[in-house]
């Protein structure tokens, strides 16, 4: 039986779906994680505690485990495990990306420099140290601009600025967000300033095999992402963009992956499109985050995780085209800051035609913060339809049935103090 090690970070939603894929493919799974919950679900050689904030040490522990029980693949289930997985795969001679390429895909500054050197279309950009004036740098690029943290993902620490003073405030706020994130994600002294690119935004799922890029799915984002913050909501597939534009998107993603030196495994990319032109906003050496992959189905009903696992093991991928029909996911936004007390209307939302599922991923009693400081969504809605328009309509109708009840943080604290 093939044996695969999954690198599972604390913050991921993805572990369960990868473990389900392993069982479907008859693969023995090992979990390497810094999350107690993930480790508790495994036993013996099925669990390995590692520190993902120290990828070299984590990879060394995986190599030591592999001496006792050889591994056939190492797979990162989410962003924070990408570097550890690349280092471990290199040590063990398994299919994977070179560690330097994986590191470049995780660092926005290095990514921008690599894309620029290769001539890949992207926004004009500058990185700024603590002594540089964000307002002057932004003015040099031309307003509006987008200020970003170098090492964060998921729209966290991403703010639009329309003038020099807004750029200064945004840079200070982004640095504070990065510092609060801590550990490997923190880069408080450096921020990225990019020219704002107008147009439609898409998300792309792809797969690299020996450097060849194959586009698996393209998601349209029908809600405009114009700022000041960039909270994503609805993804629908297949894309309604014309075929020539989809061809441009595929070629641009392939060029971006090559520029970073990526050669194996899943790719998740975000692009802006205007007419037949496309610009790379982000490209990651992993598959799509959250629970969004659950709307994708490939040949014989295979999940995206099964496709990724098949590739890692060198198994055939023939017949793995995306199944026809419209599908969509809505990342439920955080409506404001507060303590979650209840989400009403779930049954009504699930009863609507086309709605396939609803997962609330935040526990009752948890304090929530919206973007750009927040680091999570409330949950995920899933829908299918004859085409993408029908899937989108089902998602919007279902979301309208939900009511999120938040208690102000101060009120919750007062109530706790009176009951203690």
Give tens-digit pLDDT for 192-240: 999 999 999 999 999 999 999 999 999 999 999 999 999 999 999 999 9
Establish if 90 belongs to a structural domain.
yes
In a domain, 277, yes or no: no
d(CA 388, CA 239): 7
Closest by Cα among 50, 106, 51 to 79:
106
Same domain, 347 and 409: yes
pLDDT in tens, 241-291: 999 999 999 999 999 999 999 999 999 999 999 999 999 999 999 999 999
| DSSP letter assigned to residue 323 | P
339 plus 415 within the same structural domain: yes
**Is the same domain home to 349 and 391?**
yes
* Residue 175 shares a structural domain with residue 131: yes
- Same domain as 167, residue 91: no
Q: Is residue 300 part of a domain?
A: no
For the chain, how many structural domains are there in total?
A: 3
> Contact at 8 Å (CB) between 39 and 56?
no
Q: CA-to-CA distance for 121 and 252, rounded, in angstroms?
A: 8
Strand partners, 161: 145
* 255 CB burial (10 A radius; 0-12, 13-18, 19+): middle
Mean pLDDT of 98-104: 97
Domain C-terminal end among 155, 174, 195: 195
Residue 67's pLDDT band (boundaries 50, 70, 90)?
Answer: very high
Residue 261: count of CB within 10 angstroms of its CB = 17
Evaluate if residue 38 carries a pLDDT over 70: no
The domain in which residue 181 lies consists of 124-195
pTM for this model (two decimals): 0.93
Q: Work out the percent of the chain whose per-residue pLDDT is above 90.
A: 84
Q: Are residues 134 and 46 in the same domain?
A: no
Structural domain ending residue among the three candidates 154, 179, 195: 195
Distance, in Å, from the CA atom of 145 to the CA atom of 287, rounded to the nearest integer, reads 28
CA distance 303 to 300: 9
Strands 277-284, 265-274: pairing is antiparallel
Is residue 272 a part of any domain in this protein? Answer: no
In angstroms, rounded to a whole number, what is the distance separating the alpha carbons of residues 94 and 390? 42
Flag whether 269 is in a domain. Answer: no
């Amino acid at each position: 039986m093939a044996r695969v090690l999954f690198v599972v970070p604390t913050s991921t939603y993805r572990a369960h779906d990868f473990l389900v894929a392993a069982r479907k493919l008859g693969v023995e799974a090992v979990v390497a994680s810094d999350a107690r919950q993930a480790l508790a679900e495994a036993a013996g050689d099925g669990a390995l505690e590692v520190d993902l904030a120290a990828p070299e040490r984590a990879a060394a522990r995986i190599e030591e485990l592999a001496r006792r029980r050889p591994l056939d693949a190492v797979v990162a289930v989410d962003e924070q495990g990408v570097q550890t997985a690349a280092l471990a795969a290199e040590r063990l001679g398994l299919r994977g990306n070179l560690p330097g390429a994986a590191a470049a895909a995780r660092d926005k500054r290095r990514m921008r420099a690599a894309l620029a050197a290769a001539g890949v279309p992207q926004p004009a950009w500058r990185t700024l140290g603590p002594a540089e004036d964000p307002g002057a740098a932004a003015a040099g690029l031309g307003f509006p601009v987008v200020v970003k943290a170098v090492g964060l993902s998921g729209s966290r620490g991403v703010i639009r600025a329309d003038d020099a003073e807004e750029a200064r405030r945004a840079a200070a706020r982004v640095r504070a967000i990065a510092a609060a994130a801590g550990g490997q994600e923190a880069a408080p002294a450096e921020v990225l300033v990019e020219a704002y690119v107008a147009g439609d935004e898409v998300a792309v799922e792809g797969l690299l095999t020996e450097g060849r890029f194959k586009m698996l799915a393209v998601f349209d984002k029908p809600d405009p992402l114009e700022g000041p913050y960039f909270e994503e909501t609805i993804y629908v597939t297949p894309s309604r963009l014309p075929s020539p534009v989809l061809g441009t998107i595929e070629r641009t993603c392939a060029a971006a992956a090559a520029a970073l030196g990526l050669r194996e495994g899943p790719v998740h990319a975000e692009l802006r499109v205007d007419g037949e032109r496309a610009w790379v906003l982000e490209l990651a050496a992993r598959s799509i985050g959250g629970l969004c992959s659950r709307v994708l189905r490939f040949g014989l009903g295979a999940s995206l995780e099964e496709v990724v696992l098949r590739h890692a093991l060198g198994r055939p991928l023939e017949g793995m085209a995306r199944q026809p029909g419209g599908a969509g996911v809505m990342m439920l936004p955080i409506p404001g800051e507060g303590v979650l007390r209840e989400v009403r209307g779930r049954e009504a939302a699930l009863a609507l035609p086309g709605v396939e599922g609803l997962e609330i991923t935040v526990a009752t009693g948890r304090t929530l913060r919206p973007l750009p400081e927040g680091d999570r969504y409330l949950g995920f809605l899933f829908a299918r339809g004859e085409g993408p328009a029908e899937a989108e309509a089902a998602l919007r109708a279902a979301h309208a049935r939900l009511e999120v009840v938040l208690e102000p943080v101060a009120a919750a604290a007062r109530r706790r103090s009176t009951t203690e």
